Chain A
Amino acid sequence: MFKKILLATTGSPASFGAARVAFDMAKRYGSEVTIFHVLGVPTKAFSQVVNDVRTGEEVEVDAEYISWVEEELKTTYAKQFAGAENAKIVITTGAPHREILREARNQDSDLIVMGASSGDNVKYHRGYPGSTLQKVAKAARCPVLTVHRESASYWGGFSSILFGTDFSKQAASAFKFALNTARELDCVLTIFHALDISGKVLDQTQIEENLIVARKRIRETYVPLMGDFKNFDIEVWEGAPYVEIVKLAREKQVDLIVMAHHTRELDAEKAKIGSTVEQVIVRANCPVVSVSKPDKV
């Protein structure tokens, strides 16, 4: 299922959690890991100068600099490297989201793992900027797993998965991925829908009714797809979707949240506000996988 993992990293502490999850998965599931690092965007198309993605400073990219960065990455991940048979480092220049997508496509990766940073430095984050994550999550053909905090409760192995649905087309792909993962890794799968009542005035009976409808809809939509898989439960809560997802995840101590990513908005500023996924990533205590395409699930 995760034969090829692409770990897109800045090498900064903000991405340590992501690295730990990627390497743990690789060891557990025998995956190949590519540690992929984009140095930065060449300041001029044909020049060798890039704005380093970590420091924002201008650096001259030459063989020496590349091998220095490579060494640094090796040192950073020395412990993880020790047990990983199938790990390699790839370093390149360019716009981070483009290069991550390009490499994932070249390698036909099954999973992209990224660190996320919610920082507000607009130019360069210590992790990958929110807009990088947005753009990768939107266009990647494979699921994208994000780890926001080092402390995310993943301790090597998934036993409980939360799938949050809004019944969109993309959610169908996300569900497939959640189900396959749950099956393969033998986890409990919680299928969850949060009835979005933010900004609406509904009376309690209306809410109750809508909850019943949603529950029914989950049954009709997803249960027939599960065949003999019985290890699931269904939850429908009302509230602001991202808050409810995070709350439920905490309550159930899930190790992985799976969601669809389907914001059409590419302007990072605007997308950020609307994106439930992004909010969940920032707040969740566990890794979050976003799925937007049906290909690699």
Chain B
Amino acid sequence: MPEGILCNKTPIKTDEQLKLTLSDSRGTKYYAEMLELEVDSDALWALVQKTLKSRTKTWLEICAHCGLCAESCFLYQVNGRTPKQVPSYKIQSTLGQIVKKKGKVTNEFMRHCMDVAWSQCTCCNRCGMYCPHGIDMGVMFSYLRGLLYSQGFVPWELKIGSGMHRVYRAQMDVTTEDWVETCEWMAEETEEEWPGLEIPVDKQDADIMYTCNAREPKHYPEDVAEAAILFHVAGENWTVPSEGWEQTSLSMFAGDWECCKDNVQNVYDAIERLNPKRAIGTECGHAHRATVIEGPYWTGRPDGLPPRPYIHYVEWLAEALRTGKLKIDPAKRIKEPVTLQDSCNYVRNQGLKDITREIISYIVEPGFFVEMSPNKEHNYCCGGGGGFNGIGMYREQRNVALRKKMDQILDTGCKLVIAPCHNCWDAIRDLEEEYEIGIRWSFLKPLVIGMLDVPEHMLPKDEE
């Protein structure tokens, strides 16, 4: 059987195919079909020739096999320092072989590559900082994932994830109607406590266009409400687009390049259509990487920038606190040891490390902030990045991966972890469920709302 009904080289493009794939419990049938999936070596080699850029080629060639990158990888550390987890080994034995063999590889080999690409690297880009040649496995693994995806060797959940982006333009089945309806719902629910609060949809020429992560309207719409509260209190002129509001990109982690481009374009179109002064994304790390850092290249924007300045939530929040648009009541600042999870996706990929600490300086009583060690651009992945969190087949490996973060948190002695990135938040929640170390974790928005010094006129008048 060259291609299966569920496991094949064609991306999921229809609702029907999506539902069919979803209904395959645990991907049992999908993975069974994968055993038979034929590798189209010619197509694979053609793709490599077309897409293997000189940087990656050079990296593959110049790696000195010195192993200096070994300790940099948290997966190497938590997996008993097995040589199999040395970054250079991981890439040379997979991508390196595909290139060397000019695409003439077996089904078994491709499945092995899939295991390595999705369960032995979270694309956290940490190793790149420690290699004397600057070789970055995170980048190379993203590339390898693309090759694997094109041949149908991709974990079931991520095939679905990118399929959802293609079908719904959101990582979950949130339609435009669902999204707009959620905004209305949240405005209704929140306006009582915050008189005058609105969630304006498709407003032209606003100062801010806000975009988020589909997980919010789907399961945690209060996140949308919280963003609205903070914009409201800060007196911002803002809007959300009815289309192009979802900025995450599971397609990025699935290796579905075509879909990556499409999604980001959808967000950029919304910017062009509504003409805001700037765009602000939610706290999600990978969403930011996709729409702001990588997106411009995917869509071929000549200046390498989104159509308008597009900042991460922490940048807006710091600015609002700095300029006094949002005021913190000093009495309500955090007065317990608290630590911060630096998200690889905006710390290593964009250097947003000091700005998060600036926020900390406003919301935490001096003396209570405890840094993880290492931190900032040297921080480790939460343990669930790059799609790892969501792949059932690699649950065990993911749980092992969480141990690094667990140790880092335990070492701080803090019971409270600020985790602005949605995926880090999820990983830390799972970490608590798995290892029960007695911690709490939070996004920035609810924390800040809880300590706002709200001007009298903004409070509801009624109560006794």
Is A60 within 8 A of B160, CB to CB? no
Is A168 within 8 A of B219, CB to CB? no
Judged by a CB distance under 8 angstroms, whether B83 is at the interface is: no
Is A95 within 8 A of B172, CB to CB? no
A-binding segment of B22-30, B108-116, B121-129, B359-367:
B22-30
Is A262 within 8 A of B219, CB to CB? no
Bound Cα distance A95, B157 (Å):
21
B-binding segment of A12-20, A40-48, A203-211:
A40-48
CB distance from A97 to the nearest CB of B (A): 10
CB contact list, B134-163 vs A, under 8 A = 157, 160-161
A residues near B172, Cβ cutoff 8 Å: 45-46
Instruction: Give the B interface residue count (CB, 8 A).
Output: 35
Is A46 within 8 A of B161, CB to CB? yes
User: Beta-carbon contacts of B77-96 to A below 8 Å, as 1s and 0s?
Assistant: 00000000000000000000
Bound Cα distance A63, B23 (Å):
7
Is B462 within 8 A of A60, CB to CB? no
User: Beta-carbon contacts of B196-235 to A below 8 Å, as 1s and 0s?
Assistant: 0000000000000000011100111110000000000000
Judged by a CB distance under 8 angstroms, whether A81 is at the interface is: no
- Chain A residue nearest to B218 (CB atoms) is A45
**Which of A44, A64, A94, A95 gathers most chain B CB within 10 Å?**
A44
A residues near B22, Cβ cutoff 8 Å: 48
Is A98 within 8 A of B463, CB to CB? no
* Total inter-chain residue pairs, C-beta < 8 Å: 72
Is B219 within 8 A of A62, CB to CB? no
B residues near A65, Cβ cutoff 8 Å: 25
A residues near B390, Cβ cutoff 8 Å: 44-47
Is A105 within 8 A of B185, CB to CB? yes
- Chain A residue nearest to B220 (CB atoms) is A95
Judged by a CB distance under 8 angstroms, whether B189 is at the interface is: yes
Apart from A46-B171, A47-B391: 10 A-B pairs, beta carbons within 8 A = A45-B213, A45-B215, A45-B390, A46-B390, A48-B392, A95-B220, A98-B219, A166-B464, A168-B463, A169-B462
Question: What are 27 A-B residue pairs whose CB atoms fall within 8 Å in the complex?
Answer: A41-B219, A42-B219, A43-B430, A44-B157, A44-B390, A44-B426, A45-B171, A45-B214, A46-B157, A46-B160, A46-B164, A46-B172, A47-B157, A47-B391, A48-B22, A48-B25, A60-B392, A62-B23, A63-B25, A94-B219, A95-B219, A105-B185, A139-B189, A167-B464, A168-B462, A169-B462, A267-B450
